[in-house]
Chain A
Amino acid sequence: MTTDRIYLDNSATTPVAPEVLEAMAPYFSTAYGNPSSLHAFGRAAHRAVEGSRETLAALLDVRPEEIVFTAGATEANNLAIVGTALSSETGRHLVTTAIEHPAVLRTAEWLRTRGFDVTVLDVDPTGRVDPAQVREGLRPDTLLVSVMTGNNEIGTLQPIDEIGRLCRERGVLFHTDAVQALGKVPIPVDAVDLLSISAHKFHGPKGVGLLFVRKGTRLTPTLHGGGHEAGRRSGTENVAGIVGLATAARLALDEMKATSERMRSFRARMTDAITRLPGTRLNGHPEKCLPHITNFSFEGIEGESLVMRLDERGVAASTGSACSSPNLEPSHVLVAIGVPLSMAHGSLRISTGRQTTEEEIDAFLRVLPEVVEGLRAISPFKVGG
């Protein structure tokens, strides 16, 4: 990749921060031991894993034993949902929302095939879940509510504190997928019993994440083996990855105020400039949103073409268009918030990172109108009459 490319797809993944890579390096080359081994190599690796656990516990304000390292957020979400469902003696029902990540939605659907009931709540046109609906959705046999902290496509934040309060009143476990939130907004760990995080969304490495499991929460493991992670997740620890996760989390939380302020100003600029173009709309909540994600729709053009044309001009972004998805269906999130089909096909997600600069936003905003006009010129659907 040439360095003059502009990467605005940070909710897909982020570059590993140099500090993170540096902290990880020894655990590939010199301190390569297995944390379970008795010898010095093993003890060094064990110290690295437990030190990282303590760092993360302090950052999240939880206990070290409440952290279970996983191979990312998909595994963390599976463990949270399947693990609590299989542990519950009387609970047969789960509540989630229509705009969750597939790692939550598909997992809940799989449980359906195993005899559980799942209520999937609708969201309003901005993508917000109404806590009153969550309350109405609860049943005597509800075992878990899972609502994401902030949406990965449109950025809308959910009322996690309110939902957490009512779950606690009713004695129902509450899980949140906080993958997009860390380093962008405060992590609502006090409101939940389970919380998923993935390192590569905040400049850590891919393939490592964690599940926060509040003390006392019963969890049946989904990976069986050597009994790692206090029996909750077997498999030799991804030592370098875990060190990377802890280092990236510290960096993200240390820099959160400045980074999120910068991201918010980028979002405001892009929203102002893009919604001035004819036939465009902002998808998601205008204010209650993650600072780094902005989602637009452009009438008369198709999102995959838009992403490809932007790529040719050196800008990397993504779309919820059907043509870009493996099943040729438009984004379930855009459909859930009622974006008309024509607009859902023409969606563009811009997501910034800690490395994004003002100059890059300027360059993107120069390129975008030309690309949109170019595609509209060859479209049979003319915008604005």
Chain B
Amino acid sequence: MYTERVIEHFRNPHNMGKLEDYSAIGKVGNLVCGDVMWLYIKVEPDRSGRDIITDISWETFGCTAAIATSSMVSDLAKGKTIDQAIALTNQDVAKELGGLPPIKMHCSALAADALNEAIYAYLFQEGKEIPGALQRRHERIAAEIAALEKRYEAFADKVQR
């Protein structure tokens, strides 16, 4: 069912845990399927002043595919400029893992969404310009999360941060 790459990332996930001095956090979740992902990014300017994701980590409640895509998206985004990271898609994540079972493709979307949200949060708090595509994706993700949270309020009471 899963590719060797998926199993490898699931077995030894990269960049897992909470980043202590993160610049921004992206929280996405799909409790219908049981996946919740929090992605932390540390952004620092390089010598030419471009914003670079110098460190990244994540915490994920989810299945094998959710954990593997979390690991992969963190690998793909680490060291990239913000602009490069914005261009990463869920297709890129799935492709780098050698593909995902069709029913698990939403897990790669989740990982890409988490990165999107972390970058959005960073640009927003820094008062920087937010590209239109990023803004639209953020609005779509926020609407989905609001709908899910409403549906699963009971769940939120059960878990503690």
Report the number of A-B residue pairs with Cβ-Cβ less than 8 Å. Answer: 88
- Indicate if B152 sits at the interface (CB-CB under 8 A): yes
Chain A to chain B contacts (Cβ below 8 Å), 13 pairs: A300-B159, A305-B66, A312-B11, A321-B34, A321-B63, A322-B34, A323-B34, A324-B63, A328-B33, A340-B155, A341-B154, A380-B38, A381-B160
- Indicate if B64 sits at the interface (CB-CB under 8 A): yes
Chain B contacts with A in 11-44, Cβ cutoff 8 A: 11, 13, 16-17, 27, 31-38
| A341–B62 alpha-carbon span in the complex (Å) | 13
Chain A contacts with B in 345-385, Cβ cutoff 8 A: 345, 377-385
Q: Is the CB of A304 within 8 A of B154?
A: no
| A321, A380, A385 — most chain B CB neighbours (10 Å) | A380
Our pick among A303, A322, A328, A342 for the contact of B159 (Cβ within 8 Å) is A342
Q: How far is the CB of A142 from chain B (nearest CB, A)?
A: 35
Chain A contacts with B in 136-150, Cβ cutoff 8 A: none
Q: How far is the CB of A66 from chain B (nearest CB, A)?
A: 42
Q: Contacts A299-B158, A312-B11, A341-B154 known; A380 to B61 CB distance under 8 Å? A: yes
Q: Is the CB of B158 within 8 A of A340?
A: yes
- Indicate if A216 sits at the interface (CB-CB under 8 A): no
Q: Is the CB of A380 within 8 A of B36?
A: yes
Q: Which residues of chain B are within 8 angstroms of A378 by Cβ–Cβ distance? A: 13, 16-17, 58-60, 67
Q: Is the CB of B159 within 8 A of A308?
A: no
Our pick among B10, B59, B161 for the contact of A308 (Cβ within 8 Å) is B10
Interface residues in chain A, defined as those with a beta carbon under 8 Å from any beta carbon in chain B: 299-305, 308, 312, 321-324, 326, 328, 330, 340-343, 345, 377-385
Q: Is the CB of B61 within 8 A of A302?
A: yes
Nearest A residue to B160, CB-CB: A385
Q: Is the CB of A323 within 8 A of B63?
A: yes
Q: Contacts A341-B154, A382-B160 known; A305 to B63 CB distance under 8 Å? A: yes
Q: Is the CB of B64 within 8 A of A305?
A: yes
Q: Is the CB of A305 within 8 A of B10?
A: yes
Q: How far is the CB of A27 from chain B (nearest CB, A)?
A: 34
- Indicate if B133 sits at the interface (CB-CB under 8 A): no
Q: How far is the CB of A29 from chain B (nearest CB, A)?
A: 35
Q: Is the CB of A302 within 8 A of B34?
A: yes
Q: Which residues of chain B are within 8 angstroms of A323 by Cβ–Cβ distance? A: 33-35, 62-66
Nearest B residue to A340, CB-CB: B158
Our pick among B31, B60, B65 for the contact of A379 (Cβ within 8 Å) is B60
